Amino acid sequence: MEKKIKLDDVARLAGVSKATASRVLNHRGYLSQKTIDKVHQAMEDLNYRPNAIARQLYKQETMLVGLIFPTINNPYFAQLEAALEKCLYNEGYRAVMGNSENNAKKEEDYLQLLLDRQLDGLIVGAHNPEIPAYHKTSLPIVSIERVVSNQVPVVSADNYEGGRLATQRLLDDGCQHIIHTNYPGGFASPNQARESAYRDLMSQNDRPAIVYQVPFDEPEDQKLVRIRKIFEEHPEVDGIFADNDTNARLALTAATEAGRRCPEDIKIIGFDGADMTRLLLPELTTIQQPIQEMAEAAVELLKEKIAGEPAVQYRTLPVKLVEGTTA
């Protein structure tokens, strides 16, 4: 009969006390990264699976959930964080927020700080996927619109369908030269699905696919410089599918500077459709993400993970085209 692996075995292999191994397992107190790594490696080597019921009995819930997002200055993220905080509050949780400013080191520091605070779980939406702690911690985590680890469920809008709706609308409007703005590639993000839809439809309609990379974390004046180049390098452009509403707004500015009228000379569609953008720029035609529903789904998934229930790996929610006058 195969011997059942116990926490004592993990502690012995890791060269730590049973109490220290237990603290690593339950995220209690301060521990060095070296110690955490040794215990996690021992658990992996021994294929140790902690008893979920025993852990639940031992664990003292703090009713705190951490949120890590890249910025609150973007209307989409501001609305998403506010919706998450309200959903968590309604479920009896309090939110502890970290603004990473899309900086990997800052995100890692916030993540470690939040882990040290003995939270019940994390909801993340920052843009830095290669952070080891996401792969090593057993803390319940849910991600929004970002793949941070194979073990972390993702809540996302239907970004491919959004990209298809935007591109098809421009094609239906008679645009012959459609250009797309997007983040630089290199990691799994929803923008890849938006771009894939754009490329697929352009190929199906025998049109060239041209993508201008606009980094998310650049200042707006630098983004505007990049978007101006669209009109300088492609004066024939008559349609722009922007990967977010900020870039769509900048495209409108650049078009005006280039003497192009919208929608007579050029048509522009954005992506996000946050309430603040709709208020300040109601003329923008855009793909609207279901921000409230995404927040509710993320909190529901996190509750399932905290309770030790199996959570679905992906939850995709529908988007819609919101009519304006720019396309």
* Residues 85-96, mean pLDDT to the nearest whole number: 93
Query: What phi and psi, each to the nearest 5 degrees, are found at residue 155?
Result: -105, 130
Domain regions of the chain by residue span: 7-58, 64-156+291-318, 159-290
* Residues 285-303, mean pLDDT to the nearest whole number: 96
Q: Is the pLDDT of residue 39 over 80?
A: yes
Residue 204: which H helix or E strand, with range? helix 190-204
Q: Is the pLDDT of residue 285 over 60?
A: yes
Residue 287: which H helix or E strand, with range? strand 285-288
pLDDT of residue 144: 94
Q: Is the pLDDT of residue 194 over 50?
A: yes
Asked if the domains at 7-58 and 64-156+291-318 fall in one CATH topology, the answer is: no
Residue 141: which H helix or E strand, with range? strand 141-144
Rounded to whole angstroms, the Cα distance separating 228 from 233 reads: 9
Q: Is the pLDDT of residue 323 over 80?
A: yes
pLDDT of residue 187: 57
Rounded to whole angstroms, the Cα distance separating 94 from 294 reads: 18
pLDDT digits (tens, 9 = 90+) for 221-244: 999 999 999 999 999 999 999 999
Mean pLDDT taken over the chain = 87
CATH architecture observed for domain 7-58 = Orthogonal Bundle (1.10)
Q: What is the pTM of this model?
A: 0.79
Q: Are 147 and 218 in contact (CB under 8 A)?
A: no
Q: Is the pLDDT of residue 132 over 90?
A: no
Fold type of domain 64-156+291-318: Rossmann fold (3.40.50)
- For domain 159-290, the CATH class is alpha beta
239-241 and 210-213 beta bridge pairing: unpaired
Q: Look at the block and give the residue holding tokens 């397992």.
A: 25
